[in-house]
């Protein structure tokens, strides 16, 4: 059994016959009252995102998970396809927004819940190439100006003015922010 304080990001648990993954964890304290834990969770089967609140003495059931290394192959309209590096077995997972951080051939960790592949974990950072951005303008350097850029996977983020087309950059997958030039 897990306590609410154990429900950090990417923790998988069962509650009311459903399996959830924690998307966002928040510890809320109020003046005289006790602390409550608020978590935003995604239902692994349906993909629905809901918010749940817990008191300090509530408990939830821990889910049985297994992790394995996979290689991202490609995505079609509904699914993303991965290949197990150890035995070359291919699986399909529902398409999510996180797929825009992956290039074909990239290695990821696929998490199986109760023996069935459920979702993939992204690395903390990925290296991607800029395919389009407007040129930077001289003199516009007062408040660390940013501009919009499109990356090779179709992801759009804000980058500093000195970044140009063809530059390779490092992107934080948790926040979707530019980290550095590679």
pLDDT tens digits along 121-169: 888 899 999 999 988 776 656 677 888 999 999 999 999 988 899 999 9
DSSP secondary structure letter of residue 2: B
| 4-62 and 65-121 agree in CATH topology | no
Domain covering 4-62: architecture: Roll (2.30)
Domain covering 125-181: architecture: Beta Barrel (2.40)
Distance, CA of 99 to CA of 47 (rounded, Å): 15
- What average pLDDT does range 99-127 have in this prediction? 89
Distance, CA of 36 to CA of 54 (rounded, Å): 6
- The whole-number pLDDT of residue 114 equals 82
- The whole-number pLDDT of residue 174 equals 83
**What's the pTM value of the predicted model, to 2 decimals?**
0.75
Question: Can you give the residue ranges of every domain in the chain?
Answer: 4-62, 65-121, 125-181
Q: Is the dihedral of CA 85, 88, 89, 91 positive or negative?
A: positive
- The whole-number pLDDT of residue 55 equals 82
Task: Return the structure tokens found at 28.
Answer: 């809320």
Q: Phi/psi class of residue 92: alpha, beta or left (left: φ > 0; alpha: ψ in -120 to 50)?
A: beta
For residue 149, give every residue at least 6 positions away whose Cβ sits within 8 Å of its Cβ, in sequence order, or none: 130, 132, 133, 156, 157, 158, 159, 163
Provide the Cα torsion 133, 105, 23, 130; round to 10°.
-10
* Domain 65-121 of CATH type 2.40.50.140: yes
Write phi, then psi, for 4 (nearest 5 degrees).
-60, -30
Interval 29-88: pLDDT, tens: 877 777 788 889 888 877 788 898 888 788 888 888 899 999 999 998 888 999 999 999
- The whole-number pLDDT of residue 138 equals 66
User: In angstroms, how far apart are the furthest CA atoms of the chain?
Assistant: 59
pLDDT above 70 (res 5): yes
Interval 76-101: pLDDT, tens: 888 899 999 999 999 998 888 888 99
Please provide the DSSP assignment of 13-71 as one string: EEETTEEEEEEEEEEE--SSSPPEEEEEEEETTT--EEEEEEETT--BEEP-EEEEEEE
- The whole-number pLDDT of residue 171 equals 94
């Amino acid at each position: 059994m897990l306590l609410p304080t154990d429900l950090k990001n990417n923790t998988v648990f069962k509650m009311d016959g459903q399996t959830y993954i924690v998307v966002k964890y928040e510890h809320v304290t109020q003046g005289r009252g006790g602390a409550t834990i608020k978590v935003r969770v995604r239902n692994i089967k349906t993909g629905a995102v809901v918010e749940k609140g817990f008191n300090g003495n509530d408990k939830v059931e821990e889910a049985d998970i297994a992790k394995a290394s996979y290689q991202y192959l490609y995505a079609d309209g509904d699914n993303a396809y991965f290949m197990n590096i150890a035995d070359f077995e291919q699986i399909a997972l529902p398409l999510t927004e996180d797929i825009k951080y992956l290039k074909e051939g990239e290695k990821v960790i696929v998490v199986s819940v109760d023996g069935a592949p459920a979702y993939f974990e992204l690395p903390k950072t990925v290296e991607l190439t800029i395919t389009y951005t407007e040129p930077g303008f001289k003199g516009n350097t007062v408040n660390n100006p940013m501009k919009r850029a499109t990356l090779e996977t179709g992801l759009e983020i804000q980058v500093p003015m000195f970044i140009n087309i063809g530059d390779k950059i490092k992107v934080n997958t948790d926040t979707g922010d530019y980290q550095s030039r590679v």
